[in-house]
Structure 1
């Protein structure tokens, strides 16, 4: 920094100085000199004279003022000096971050090996080292990776180089090096005879390095082969041969896939055997449960259409009793959405659930309490759907209609489902809230949560319908899993108490 000259003022003696001080105080006054950061005296002199001149051309005055403001701004020099020195240390900072990241990984593995008695020994095989990392080192690296100023300076510090690759026919391919990322470039070259061969050029993120790759589907040209007995075309083995061409190119079409289909199939079994002479008593049992899911989804621009079909069927046999049904439920759901703003969509949804086979009373095994479409519960609603991620959906509907329909009124008692005697259906209107979320914990547990709330506008406010389903899936291997399914229902049309069902199964799982 340039040292500014100073001028010493005359010493002023006062009576207080003579009484209390043995030596007079010397005070300095600094005179601010302008444009001292400009090394050329002629430029400083010219700037001072241009301030005094009054030119009659407005555009010329404006241009002079623009350049003068830049020249007289002394902060630019010091700022650019710092930026230049900062650019020189970017590479050192990158190497420091890399060294710390290597240390974090090494420390985590070494710590793990020093404590082999930990319960989570399996995490070492699954590369879950993050729970043993040094939090202070992690915080420092995270700060550097998230700091906007550092990332901006790092990108600006790269000195990109343009390289032109020329073939024999002088056909050029321009490639930028030192871009900070890996890129592939297609390259077509030909020899003097007009034979063409293609390959790829790979630029590495560190810069100033390139790799060449030759296409694998390359064959020798027949017209240059030596006349001999016919044989299959050999693969390219000589890198210095000029008589090689590409195989016939097959041009495909690239289309966006709007429809997606997939299905989940789970088959679970449970079995227990007790001999006749077992002293503690008991009965043998056998249970079977199938859970079939099929999904059809459509997405195009701002429009989505989600469809799901699920059917659960289970049977149980205990002791000498006949095989009886303990699970029978068909669910169909369809939701159409149009993007509104951010993660919100305007949506309309249709839900239906019923049984397929006859269900009997547990006490007498003769009275039919439900069969196909008896009852059938379906809901039609309109509202907003909040989807910040694909595995989370919160549907809010202030307008929802709910119907309960009984097809077979001869066998099924309609009053059991809140319908007046002599009628087939019951309608209601209200507000609906539905929450769906799926999460994976660790590497072996999947959680599927589904909660539905419906509040009627016409009946008592406290008459709320709640349907909550929770599925926990513990993966054993790719095909086998253990699942816990819990379903809690509160519906005053069916019962004044909370209904609850829970099943624990071990079975096989397939996804198509």
Structure 2
């Protein structure tokens, strides 16, 4: 079976099955909606400022701003489970005085929708869609031979990259463990590079001059959430994808975060993310270029508003 056939089959099964099941969940009255729908979200604002004037120990002033908006709306009734989540985050930092420009430190748009039919409380058939991109241009400072100043090189943009993953498989969610795992042998993955210069360079595994790359493969996705102690929560999310043509080479995306609650309005978060994609070449700190593990660590203390 060819890659295109597998890709087409995964999308047909995913959407046809989800559409046929949605009719059952739509026949609810107002009372059912109040009872079976759960909604929530949060807004996190972080501000950090360092001001130095005639400071003998050295250093430079800085200003950092960041915000994250997260929301979810879930429906569960009898044999039907429908989960929807959205996350938008953006952060910048400026080192030195106000003549310097702000540089991006965080930028993410993540949308997820999962529609499941229960075989039991632990085993479900799941059709899922996951979309990821960013909102703003991303730059990297690189050394220029023979010059003291570094140059800013564009390495990302809105929908460059953008990732759309649709899957159909089985979900396992054991009781009282805070764990979910979905194994989907029918998974279609699209990589978008809609910026002209990045598409011409063949960034993010898309062929030079092309804008979209399609793959068919198998995926393992899920979450793990656990309260470690009072006011300390651990939340993780993972996504493993392997193209059938390159199996067992695997794209890895793991996110883990500790939420430390001070009170209802102030929280500290420690977030880490690990990405490895065999088709993506990165510029290392020594200037060399090639495949490597990508790591991001963020520690914030800020104001939180839940709704």
Partner of 1:421: 208
Equivalent residues of 1:369, 1:413 under 8 A apart: no
Cα distance in structure 1, aligned partners of 2:161 and 2:132: 9
Does 2:138 correspond to 1:359? yes
User: More helix by proportion, 1 or 2?
Assistant: 1
Which of residues 33, 44, 50 is equivalent to 1:266?
A: 44
- Unpaired runs of at least 5, structure 2: 1-28, 143-149, 282-290
**1:497 counterpart residue number:** 292
Q: Are positions 1:349 and 2:128 aligned together?
A: yes
Counterpart of 1:454? Answer: 241
Residue 172 (structure 2) aligns with: 386
Whole-Å separation in 1 of the counterparts to 2:118 and 2:165: 22
Q: 1:254 to 1:428 in 2, by over 3 A?
A: closer
How big is the shift at 1:460? 4.9
Runs of 4+ that moved beyond 6 A: none
Matching of residues 27-426 of structure 1 within 5 Å: 255-256=31-32, 257-275=35-53, 277-320=54-97, 321-363=100-142, 366-389=152-175, 391-410=178-197, 413-426=200-213
Deviations 1:273-332 (A, max 9, x none): 222x22232111111121110111122221111111101100101113211211111001
User: Which residue is 1:478 aligned to?
Assistant: 264
- Residues 254 and 497 (structure 1 numbering): CA distance in 2 closer, same or farther, change over 3 Å? closer
Tell me if the contact between 2:200 and 2:210 (Cα under 8 Å) persists in the aligned partners.
Answer: no
Shift of 1:386: 1.1
Residue 283 and residue 412 in structure 1: after superposition, are their counterparts in 2 closer, same or farther (change >3 A)? Answer: farther
Aligned match of 1:13: none
Counterpart Cα distance in 2 of 1:305 and 1:428: 26
Q: Which has the higher strand share?
A: 2
Query: Any idea what the Cα deviations from partners look like across 1:145-173, whole Å, max 9, x if unmatched?
Result: xxxxxxxxxxxxxxxxxxxxxxxxxxxxx
Q: CA deviation at 1:365?
A: 5.7
How many angstroms apart in 2 are the aligned matches of 1:490 and 1:467?
7
Q: Measure how far apart 1:368 and its partner are.
A: 2.6
Q: Distance in 1 between matches of 2:118 and 2:262?
A: 39
CA deviation profile, 1:374-412 (whole Å, cap 9, x unmatched): 221111111011122483211111121111012222465
Q: Secondary structure at the match of 1:283?
A: coil
Residue 445 of structure 1: which of 218, 226, 232 is its match? 232
With over 3 angstroms needed to count, the CA separation of the structure-2 counterparts of 1:439 and 1:291, relative to structure 1, is same
CA distance in 2, matches of 1:429, 1:409: 25
Aligned residue for 2:136, secondary structure, equals coil
When normalised by structure 1's length, the TM-score is 0.48
* C-alpha spacing 1:451/1:412, structure 2 compared with 1 (3 Å): same
TM-superposed CA distance for 1:457, in Å, is 0.9
Instruction: For residues 166-197 of structure 1, give each alpha carbon's deviation from its aligned partner in whole angstroms, at most 9, with x where no partner exists.
Output: xxxxxxxxxxxxxxxxxxxxxxxxxxxxxxxx
Note the residue ranges of structure 1 that are not aligned, 5 or more in a row. Answer: 1-252
Secondary structure in 1 aligned to 2:141? coil
Aligned to 2:210, the other structure's residue is in SS state coil
CA distance in structure 2 between the partners assigned to 1:350 and 1:290 by the alignment:
25
Indicate the residue corresponding to 1:509 in structure 2: 304
How far 1:437 sits from its partner (Å)? Answer: 1.3
Relative contact order higher in (CA < 8 Å, ≥ 6 apart): 2
- Taking the aligned partners of 1:342 and 1:438, their CA distance within structure 2 comes to 18
Q: Answer whether contact 1:406 1:414 (CA < 8 A) is retained.
A: no
- Aligned partners of 1:473 and 1:342: how far apart in 2? 28
Task: Return the index of the structure with the highest Cα Rg.
Answer: 1
Q: Indicate the SS of the match to 1:478.
A: coil
Q: Is the 8 A contact 1:481 1:506 kept in 2?
A: yes
Q: Do 2:83 and 2:114's aligned partners in 1 also have CA atoms closer than 8 Å? A: yes
Inter-CA distance 414–352: structure 2 relative to 1 (3 Å threshold): farther
